[in-house]
Structure 1
Amino acid sequence: MQPSADRNTTVRTRRRRLLIAAALVVVAGLAVHLLGSGPVADFTGDALYAVLVYLVIAAVFARAASWAIGAATVVVCTLIELFQLTGLPGAWAEAFWPVRLVLGTGFDARDLIAYAVGAAAATVCDLILTRRSRARQAA
């Protein structure tokens, strides 16, 4: 078992890496949004959105299990997508355009698939990287 100070250092390092990854995902997502078009770009952007949500949740709850973070990501993204059915995000986006990037504007059931793919990809990557990190620490 790791001493408390080592665990805190590990958590800080994990958070720092997650936030760096989140910044890179934001850049990639904006590039897809600005440069891409069509269904592939839409799907990619939505999947990257889910990856970003995963990274934010993981940074806040750095000690949580990857599967729990992945499940929470799907729930959060689904709730945001369902919130679009109210029409409020679309109205808010007309007044302040960045809302469109965070909440979207209109419900599309296909987005739910992209969110699941993005959350699953983030979960698998996190599991792999976490296991590698633990193996290095044990060695």
Structure 2
Amino acid sequence: MAAVAALVTVGAGLGLRAVATGDVAKYGGDALYTLMILTLVVLLAPRSTPARAAGIALAVSWAVELLQLTGLPAELSARSTAARLVLGSTFNAPDLLWYAVGASAGWLALRVAVRGR
């Protein structure tokens, strides 16, 4: 189930980029980035509680964003498309909020899924 959710999340991100531009695409992509990390957490640790999975996803997202303050992701992104997709390149404080939106949406979805079992 988590693998399917990961694929759907990637599809949603690609679809968003195809139909939207500007802030909608950027910040929607940020939220989906954290949601994707959350699906990977659930895939790797399926017994994680919704709060733990969301917290880990948010922490990873924030860590990657804060790492951008060092310039290392920009250097790696200049040499690798994969690094650019995973690490980004430039710190942007509003991204931190949108990562929290993605983690919150994932937490809510997991809560609903857990209760539905």
Q: Return 5+ residue gaps in structure 1 as ranges.
A: 1-16, 134-139
Q: Deviations over 1:62-111 (max 9, x none)?
A: 11111111111111111000011111111111111121111111101100
Shift of 1:35: 4.2
Q: 2:67 matched to 1:109?
A: no
Q: Which residue, out of 72, 79, 86, partners 1:95? A: 79
**1:47 counterpart residue number:** 31
Number of paired residues?
A: 117
Residue type of the alignment partner of 2:44: V
Q: Tell me what 1:131 maps to.
A: 115
Deviations 1:15-39 (A, max 9, x none): xx11111011112112323543211
- 1:74 and 2:58 correspond: yes
For residue 8 of structure 1, what is the aligned residue in structure 2? Answer: none
Higher RCO, 1 or 2 (CA under 8 Å, sep at least 6)? 2
Q: C-alpha separation between the residues in 2 aligned to 1:110 and 1:26? A: 22
Structure 2 counterpart of 1:64, which letter?
Answer: S
Q: 2:20, 2:67 → 1: CA distance?
A: 25
How far, CA to CA, are the matches of 1:33 and 1:101 in structure 2? 13
Residue type at the aligned position of 1:116? A
Residue 119 of structure 1 deviates from its aligned partner by 0.3
**TM-score normalized by the length of structure 1:** 0.80
Q: How does 1:6-85 map to 2 (within 5 A)?
A: 17-85=1-69
Please give the root-mean-square deviation of Cα atoms over the aligned residues, in Å: 1.1
Query: What TM-score do you get using the length of structure 2 for normalisation?
Result: 0.94
Question: What is the one-letter code of the residue matched to 1:30?
Answer: L
